[in-house]
Amino acid sequence: MNDRDHGQCVIDETLTEYLEGSLDPAIKAASEVHLLSCQPCRGRLAFFMHVLQPEVDSEESVALRAISAEWDKRKENNLPLRPRVSGLFMAIAAVVIVLVGVSSVWMARQGAEPESAEEIVTLLLEQNRPFEARLAGQPHLSIERTRGTGETGVSYTLLAGEMTRLSANSHEMGRFYLLEKEFRKAIPYLEIAEREVGASAAVHNDLGVAYLEDGNGSHHNKAESEFLHALQHDESFAAAAFNLALFYERSNSTAQAKAQWKRYLELDSESDWAREANERLQGLSR
């Protein structure tokens, strides 16, 4: 019997449904025809039959007890994970771990689960730079232009629930949605924060970033106003100075952009942001 004469190989789901007895009779019959002739597929069926055997032998029983003890030990002692778990997963883990009651294990590498909404935002900022403009308190990362938010592996819906649970304020929720590039959700939150008495330079800056980056022409000019507000509050607020220069650059106001990049470099000449500002200034001068 030649397996090439007996249809396509059987996927894992069909194999387990065959074992369960839930396959449509026609698919069941076709699967049997294929399994009889295809040794690799029968090998995979055998694999699942071995894995799914309900009986646990004494050797397995001993091993399972040791595994459970190891799991509990890690839970109690905060022993670290192997470093294969990606940093981005930690953000998800931060939420889920608590839910499954194994937080100490999963969060071992992070040190502790996030205790505040701001901490979640900070974790996200450390992982991803979604656009050129600079949010308040954002560490410098190079922009990965080809990478969309959907490819980061972060479950924003899951984290949004956690932001609510941690009583995120309007500014924090706005920043969170901004990182997701959900401008339609971010802007209302940031506008609420901006209307609050004593709104900080950071709030004005972040609202300006939302206006600048959302691609809506009617918002574009509002961005300048917010960056200027931020600098009125705090003339050394580097993020707003950076963003104002970026705003002028995007508005094709080259002379203003060059002047603003120079002002930025007076505020910050050492950081990676300064290096980026310098590169932009040089680009405009060519």
Partner 1 sequence: MADNVRRFRWKKSGEVSAPDLVRECGEKLTDRELWRQFQERFQGLIFMYVMRSLRLRMIQDDVTGIVPDLAQEVYLKLVQHEGRVLRSFKGTTEFSVRAFLAKISASVVHDYQRSAGTEKRSAQVVPIDYMAAAESQAKKSTEAPEFDSSQLSSILSWIDMERVIEGEPDRKNARRNALIFQLHYINGFESGEIARFPGFGLTKSGVQAILTRLRKRIQA
The contact set with partner 1 (CB under 8 A) reads: 1, 12-13, 16-23, 29, 32-33, 35-37, 39, 42-43, 45-56, 60, 63-64, 66-68, 70-71, 74, 81-82, 84-85, 89, 92-93, 95-96, 98-102, 105-106, 153, 155, 157-158, 161-162, 165
Least separation in angstroms between CB 43 and partner 1: 4
Cβ 103 to partner 1 shortest distance, Å: 11
Report in angstroms how near the CB of residue 190 gets to partner 1 at its nearest.
24
- List of long-range contacts for 252-257, beta carbons under 8 Å, 24+ apart: 254/284, 257/284
Shortest reach from residue 130's CB to partner 1, in Å: 18
Nearer to partner 1 (CB atom), residue 100 or residue 143: 100
Write out the chain in H/E/C secondary structure: CCHHHCCCCCCHHHHHHHHHCCCCHHHHHHHHHHHHHCHHHHHHHHHHHHHCCCCCCHHHHHHHHHHHHHHHHHHHHCCCCCCCCCHHHHHHHHHHHHHHCCHHHHCCCCCCCCCCHHHHHHHHHHHCCCCCCCCCCCCCCCCCCCCCHHHCCCCHHHHHHHHHHCCCCHHHHHHHHHHCCCHHHHHHHHHHHHHCCCCCHHHHHHHHHHHHHCCCHHHHHHHHHHHHHHHHHCCCCHHHHHHHHHHHHHCCCHHHHHHHHHHHHHHCCCCHHHHHHHHHHHHHHC
C-beta closer to partner 1: residue 43 or 215 = 43
Smallest distance, Å, CB 265 to partner 1? Answer: 41
Nearer to partner 1 (CB atom), residue 56 or residue 143 = 56
Whichever of 101 and 217 has its CB closer to partner 1, that residue is: 101
CB of 248 to partner 1, least distance (A): 39
Of 75 and 258, the one with the shorter C-beta distance to partner 1 is 75
Structure tokens at 128: 């991803």
Nearer to partner 1, 48 or 131 (CB): 48
Cβ proximity to partner 1, 12 vs 279, nearer residue: 12
